[in-house]
Amino acid sequence: MRWPILRALAHKELLRFAANRGSLALVLLLLVAAVLLSFFGQRGPGGGGGLAPAVQLCYVDYAEPGPFVDHLKANVPAELVAHVRFRPLAEAATDREGRIVYPQNTGAIQLRPPEAPGGPAKAWFWHPGQGPDSLAGFEVWFWRESARYHQGAAGAAPFTVEHSSLTQGLDPRAGIATSIVLFGLFFVCVYLLPSMTCEERERGVLLAQALSPATTAELFAAKFLVYPVVAVALAAALAGAYQPRALLLPFFWLALLVCVLGSMGVGLTIASVARTQRAASMGAMAYLGAVSLLLFICQQNNINGLLVLALEYHCPRVVHAALTGRVRWYHWMNLGGALLLGCGWAFAAGALFRRRGWQ
């Protein structure tokens, strides 16, 4: 690899990207969307103060009806009336393993019977992805009315308390932010890169570069120098506009690097196979549609063996974990899976580009 040639090729790629006004306009729109997402939708209905909730709905699921449940029903404050729903635990929807399933952006207060005869009942608080504070308004109401009730009920047993997170749900705002970040990576690496490469091929620029002192490996390396930097910078700007704290997490940068490696592999593979700019654009859209359909079918039919073979299965999970700051051990497994798939795509792209991508 010769640095002067790489620098000249990289400079050319940057100038071509800067001259693409449509791409710059879309980048600006993505940044505006991320900024708006960070300012709006952070509070729940009526989120101006007092007991206004940070979630849309809180279920009060009780094991059996009784005077305490009747007391709660009769003393729901006006600002929470539209956001509290009472129901027996037996009527709650469950998954195949018998676990209660709650809709997105909802929480729950479960009133469970004593584990041993004569023991205390349990108040189990389930908060959504926003964190325990999202149920603060409901908890204030619950404990206030619990104190009022038990002051007039002599010998009432106290509650044991437990807090848990509804980790199976996805915070809608974090989900949208994850989609915006991944779309930024997809746009630069999987859509823009093949389109501009095929445009060079149609105009004869790519062939002229191949006939110059630059080697095929240097042409390939120049694209791997420019587009990943642009994609990572755009993704970091989008993520920073939504959640600046994510930029301080090493896992976030690792996730971006692994995701952009796989996206570059996919993009250069499409650029090597497609012959025209129109074919490259259609190929990128066809790839996105095919992968989305495959993931949907596999998820609906529990075909987990095929899911883990898709780069798009791992990338959303690692980016979402980095944006929310809730990185678990299995997210590192997703990161490792995305790295292996990304290396595979990059190797395939290099082999194809060397054989026919520059022609």
Convert the pLDDT of each residue in 13-22 to its tens digit: 888 888 888 8
| Cβ contacts of 196 within 8 Å, gap of 6 or more | 16, 17, 20
Give the gyration radius of the chain's Cα atoms: 27
- pLDDT value for 301: 75
Q: In this prediction, what percent of the chain has a pLDDT beyond 90?
A: 23
Cβ proximity of 201 and 273 under 8 Å: no
Angle at 222 between CA 216 and CA 225, to 5 degrees: 145
In the predicted model, is pLDDT for residue 50 greater than 50?
A: no
**DSSP character for 92?**
S
C-alpha 266/C-alpha 260 separation (Å) is: 10
CB of 216 closer than 8 Å to CB of 358: yes
Q: Does the pLDDT value for residue 156 go beyond 80?
A: no
pLDDT category at 5 given cuts 50, 70, 90 is confident
DSSP 143-196: HHHHHHHHHSSTTPPPPEEEEEE-TTS--HHHHHHHHHHHHHHHIIIIIIHHHH
Residue of 35, 61, 42 whose CA lies nearest to 134: 42
Residue bearing the bigger pLDDT, 340 or 207: 340
Q: Encode 173-202: b = buried (16+ Cβ within 10 Å), e = exposed.
A: bbbbbbebbbbbbbbbbbbbbbbbbbbbbe
Give the model's pLDDT for residue 122.
Answer: 87
- In order of 22, 192, 197, 265, 339, the CA distances from 189 in angstroms are 16, 6, 11, 8, 16
Residue 266 DSSP class:
H
Residue 261 — pLDDT band, cuts 50, 70, 90? very high
Whole-number Å distance between alpha carbons of 257 and 241: 19
pLDDT in the model for residue 84: 92
Residues 108-141 have pLDDT tens digits of 999 988 877 777 888 888 887 655 677 888 888 9
**Which pair of structure tokens corresponds to residue 205?**
């620029």
- Relative to beta strand 84-88, strand 106-112 is unpaired
Residue 263: predicted pLDDT: 92
Q: What pairs with residue 109 in β-bridges?
A: 60, 125
Q: Model confidence over 275-296: pLDDT tens digits?
A: 888 888 898 899 988 998 988 8
Give me the mean pLDDT over the 293-312 stretch: 82
CA dihedral 25, 29, 35, 39 (to 10 degrees): 150
Residue 48 has pLDDT above 50, yes or no: no
With tokens 């206004």, the residue in question is 52
What is the pTM for the complete model shown? 0.65
* Separation CA 293–CA 276 (nearest Å): 25
Whose CA is closest to 187, among 151, 153, 227, 243? 227
Task: Round to whole Å and give the CA distance between 77 and 84.
Answer: 10
* 76 φ/ψ angles, rounded to the nearest 5 degrees: -80, 125
Read off the tokens for 179: 């989609």
Q: How do residues 163-195 score in pLDDT, each as one tens digit? A: 777 654 455 677 788 889 999 999 999 999 888
**For 79-112, what is each residue's pLDDT tens digit?**
888 889 999 988 887 766 677 877 766 889 999 8
Q: Is the pLDDT of residue 59 over 80?
A: yes
Structure confidence at residue 53 as a pLDDT band (50, 70, 90):
very low
More confident residue, 105 or 325: 325
- Top-confidence range, 54-68, 245-259, 267-281, 294-308: 245-259
